[in-house]
C-alpha cells in the first residue's frame, strides 16, 4: 500500500516525531511504500539542519534524511508554517533578507496542496500530533 504520514509535532518536545519515525520504518520494513512525510504545524521543526542534540540522543532530523535517502521518501514541509516558525531554505532566506538558512534537501518547502494531493493519491495517511 502507499502511505503518507502527516507530522505535527516538533522533535524532542513531543513524542510525535519519534512515533512517526518508528511507524515509518515499520511500514517500509513490511514492504509498503512511504510516498512522503508532510511536516505541518510544529512538525516543520523536524527539517532544521541546525538541530544539534547530544550524541547519545536520537537525531530526528538525520533520521528523516536517512529514511528519505534509503527509501525515496519525499520530505515535504509546509512553507507557510515553516516561514512563520523560522525554517527557511536558501531561496526563502534570500527572499526575506535573512542571514542564513536552515532547511536543505532532501527537505522541500511546499504548499498545503501537496498534503491534499497525498491524501488523494495514497491508500493510507496517518497523522502524528503532539
Partner 1 sequence: MQLHDDNIARDLLVILRHGPHGSSWLREGLDAALVAAAFGQSVSLLFMGEGVAALVAGQQPGPLGQKGSAATLEMLEMYDIESLLVEEQALSRLGLMEDELMLDVEPLAAGALAEVLSAHRLVLTF
Partner 2 sequence: MLLHVVNRSPATSRVFEQALAGMAPDDYLLLIEDGVQGALPHLVRYYEGVEGRLFALKEDLESRGLLGRCAGSVQVIDVDGFVTLSEEAERTVSWY
Cα 19 from chain centroid? 13
Q: How far apart are CA 5 and CA 14, in angstroms?
A: 16
Contacts with partner 2 in 13-52 (CB under 8 A)? Answer: 15-16, 19, 22-23, 25-27, 29-30, 32
Residue of 7, 34, 67, 78 marked active site: 78
Q: Is 78 a catalytic residue?
A: yes
Strand order through the sheet with 2-7: 107-110, 74-78, 33-39, 2-7, 124-128
Could you tell me the smallest distance in angstroms from the CB atom of residue 7 to partner 2?
11
Could you tell me the smallest distance in angstroms from the CB atom of residue 129 to partner 1?
7
Q: Annotated active-site positions, please?
A: 78
Binding stretches for partner 2 (CB under 8 A): 1, 3, 8, 15-16, 19, 22-23, 25-27, 29-30, 32, 124-130
Amino acid at each position: 500500500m502507499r502511505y503518507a504520514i502527516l507530522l505535527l509535532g516538533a522533535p524532542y518536545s513531543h513524542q510525535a516525531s519519534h512515533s512517526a519515525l518508528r511507524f515509518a520504518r515499520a511500514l517500509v520494513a513490511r514492504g509498503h511504500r512511504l510516498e512522503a512525510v508532510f511536516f505541518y504545524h510544529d512538525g516543520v521543526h523536524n527539517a532544521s539542519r541546525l538541530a544539534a542534540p547530544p550524541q547519545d540522543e536520537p537525531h530526528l532530523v538525520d533520521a528523516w534524511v536517512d529514511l528519505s535517502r534509503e527509501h525515496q521518501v519525499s520530505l515535504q514541509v509546509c512553507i507557510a508554517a515553516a516561514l512563520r516558525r523560522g525554517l527557511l531554505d536558501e531561496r526563502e532566506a534570500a527572499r526575506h533578507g535573512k542571514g542564513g538558512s536552515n532547511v536543505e534537501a532532501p527537505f522541500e518547502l511546499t504548499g498545503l496542496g501537496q498534503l491534499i494531493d497525498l491524501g488523494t493519491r495514497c491508500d493510507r495517511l496517518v497523522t502524528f500530533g503532539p
